[in-house]
Structure 1
Amino acid sequence: MAKHKSADAAPETAQPLPRMKTKEYEHELRRLHGELVAMQEWVKGAGAKVCVLFEGRDTAGKGGTIKAITERVSPRTFRVIALPAPTDREKSQMYLQRYVPHLPGAGDVVIFDRSWYNRAGVERVLGFCTPEQSDQFLRLVPEVERAIVESGVILIKYWLEVSADEQTRRLEGRINDPRKVWKLSDMDLKSYSRWYDYSRARDEMFRTTDTAWAPWYVANTDDKKRGRLNVITHLLSQVPYKPLQRREVTLPKRQKADGYREPALSVRHIPTPY
Structure 2
Amino acid sequence: MYLEYLGPKQANTAEHLKTIDMAIAGRVDGIITQGIGEEQFNHLVTKAKEKSIPIVTIDTDAPESERAVYVGTDNYYSGFIAGKAIINDTTGRQHVAIVTGRHDAPHQKLRVQGFMDAIATEKRISVLTVEESNITEIGASEAAHKILKQYPSVTAFYGTSALDGIGIAKVVSNLKAEDNIYIIGFDILSETLEYIENGLIEATVVQFPYQMGYESVERLIQLNEGKELQPLQHTDTKIVHKEDLPLDPATMSGGQQP
Q: Does the alignment reach a TM-score above 0.5?
A: no
Report the TM-score, using the length of structure 2 for normalisation: 0.32
Choose between structure 1 and 2 for higher RCO, CA contacts under 8 A separated by at least 6 residues: 1
Whose helix fraction is larger, Structure 1's or Structure 2's?
1
Structure possessing the higher radius of gyration over alpha carbons: 1
TM score, norm. by length of structure 1: 0.30
